[in-house]
Amino acid sequence: MPYNAATIGQGLGQQPKHFVAQPSTAPNPTLSGITRDSGGNALGGCALNVYEGQTGTYRTSTNSDAEGKYTVGVPLLIPLQIVAYLPGSPDVGGVTVNTLSVPYGT
């Protein structure tokens, strides 16, 4: 079962609006969510980079689809942070808290 990550891309400097954690027993856990602009509209085509929340070590990357949806494989139990960016005029970016994680469920 995937972890539903925060809505990101809320605009520079704005915090994500919500998180929903679901335990995962899958061999390949994932984070998924929707990138959005500051008005709450889905924002497709964003580049997303995933970093370890405590060290800033790069883990992986993906892109949101045309509807802003994304899914990315991640390790269990490691605090993570997602940074989203969409170049344009103006550029749009957003960041999650640095404590996202996929809990192990039974």
Q: pTM for the whole thing?
A: 0.73
* Residue 33 confidence (pLDDT) above 70: yes
Residue from 63, 56, 99, 55 nearest 84 by CA? 63
What pLDDT score was predicted for residue 13?
A: 42
Q: Name the strand (E) or helix (H) holding 61.
A: strand 58-63
Please give the share of the chain, as a percent, with pLDDT higher than 70: 72
Over range 12-23, report the average pLDDT: 43
What pLDDT score was predicted for residue 6?
A: 41
Over range 56-85, report the average pLDDT: 91
- Domain at 3-95, CATH from 1.10.405, 2.60.40, 2.60.220, 1.20.272: 2.60.40
CA distance 35 to 44: 7
What pLDDT score was predicted for residue 63?
A: 95
